[in-house]
Amino acid sequence: MKRREVIVGLCGTAVALPFEARPQEPRTYRIGMVEVVSAEMNAVNLSAFRQGLEDLGYREGRNLILEYRSAQGDARRFPGLIAELMALDVDLIVARGTPAALAAKMATSTIPVVMAVGEPLLVVESLARPGGNITGLSGVQPELEAKRLELLKELVPSTAGVAAFLNIGNPVTGLQLKRLEAAAHAMGLRFRLVDVRSLEDIERGFGTLEGSTDAIVVGLEALTQAHRYRIAELAAKHWMPAIYGGREFVEAGGLIFYGPSFPDMYRRLATYVDRILKGAKPADLPVEQPTKFEMVINLKTARALGISIPPSLLARADEVIE
């Protein structure tokens, strides 16, 4: 080979190497979140989700954009919010609650959806093989209702009548109501439903309790979450012990919460997001159950209601709010 050819070849290599070795820009993923309440009201869960994603290598401003949309307690807004996210060409949608997941299912069969819902079998074909474009976590809300009634009875042994504040418009409510009625019957408790579909329904419902109800169960859904402070206020005003399906109710002044740890569930949602963004198909990812449950008692509220918490119950509580 002639000296001139060698020099030209080396020059060509010297020019080509920087382009070949230049690192590729990391892809930025756009994740849509459809939630029941604002980001401010959902701060603890949202922080857990962000931390879970960051632990897996996703960071906002670097390779991740989160598009958060809230129904503000009105499940009728979910279809419009999902359409808004689809117009942004999101890579994946996270849906909180069965109504949100069902709205996502109706809107798209191609964009992956990761859900956190009370009853996943209303959304997917099976837990082991969900099929389609949706998978995620179950909050097993209907299955927990009997346990909540037992805790209420343990907390206030004189309880003879219980009312459940549930939104019949929520697809999960039918299952919850069935479990509550069966548990109340087995425990010899009078039981009644208070159907709440608006704040006005909630306020009117409390006005109907006197003389028939000793304690209440408040369902976990968009409407009740959005008005949790008002519900806790009304329960205190009417001297009504209440158990809730989300710890945010107790932080708002409610008496007792028993259910899955939602911050833990949100961290686990991040692992689903990661696996799907890396190529896994939602249809092949089983829907998982909660692995961590919590009981939180608001001792200040108990004192205001004149309730002495049994030591055995306090010992089992994961957290006591003073």
With b meaning 16 or more CB within 10 Å and e meaning fewer, what string describes 106-133?
ebbeebbbbbbbbbbebbbeeeeebebb
Mean pLDDT of 304-317: 95
* CB neighbourhood size of 301 (10 A): 21
215 part of a folded domain: yes
Together in a domain, 203 and 310: yes
In a domain, 157, yes or no: yes
Which has more confidence, 15 or 50?
50
* pLDDT per residue as tens digits for the range 116-140: 999 999 999 999 999 999 999 998 8
256-260 and 293-298 strand pairing: antiparallel
CB 231 within 8 A of CB 221: no
How far is the C-alpha of 223 from the C-alpha of 76, rounded, in Å? Answer: 11
Express each pLDDT in 214-225 by its tens digit.
999 999 999 999
User: What phi, psi does 256 have (nearest 5°)?
Assistant: -145, 140
Same domain, 311 and 274: no
Residues 6+ apart with CB under 8 A from 299: 309, 320, 321, 322
CB 112 within 8 A of CB 101: no
Angstrom distance (rounded) from CA 316 to CA 290: 19
* 202/307 same-domain check: yes
Q: Are residues 128 and 236 in the same domain?
A: no
Q: How far is CA 8 from the centre of its chain?
A: 64
Containing structural domain, residue 87: 29-139+262-292
Among 23-32, 72-81, 207-216, 226-235, which is the least confidently predicted range? 23-32
125 and 204 belong to one structural domain: no
Q: How many domains does the chain have?
A: 2
310 and 163 within one domain: yes
- pTM over 0.95, yes/no: no
User: Rounded distance, CA 277 to CA 161, Å?
Assistant: 50
The alpha carbon dihedral of 274, 277, 279, 283 has a sign of positive
Is there a single domain that holds both residue 178 and residue 302? yes
- 168 with 302, same domain: the answer is yes
Residue 8 located in a structural domain: no
Whether residues 89 and 157 fall in one domain: no
What's the pLDDT score for residue 22? 53
pLDDT(6) > 90: no
The answer to whether position 14 is within a domain reads no
Residue 12 in domain = no
Nearest to residue 307, comparing CAs of 162, 154, 150, 191?
154
CATH number for the domain harbouring residue 41: 3.40.50.2300
Residue 91 has pLDDT above 70, yes or no: yes
Tell me the pLDDT tens digit for each residue of 240-280: 999 999 999 999 999 999 999 999 999 999 999 999 999 99
Residues 114 and 246 in one domain: no
- For residue 2, what pLDDT band results from cuts at 50, 70 and 90? very low
Q: Tokens for 226, please give them.
A: 């959005």
Q: Name which of 75, 78, 46, 320 is nearest 220 in CA terms.
A: 75
Quick check: is 17 in a domain?
A: no
> Is pLDDT at 76 greater than 70 in this prediction?
yes
Question: Could you tell me if 46 and 128 lie in one domain?
Answer: yes
Within a domain: 7: no
CA atoms of 164 and 236, how far apart (whole Å): 16
Asked whether residue 164 falls in the same domain as residue 116, the answer is no
Whether 271 maps to a domain, the answer reads yes
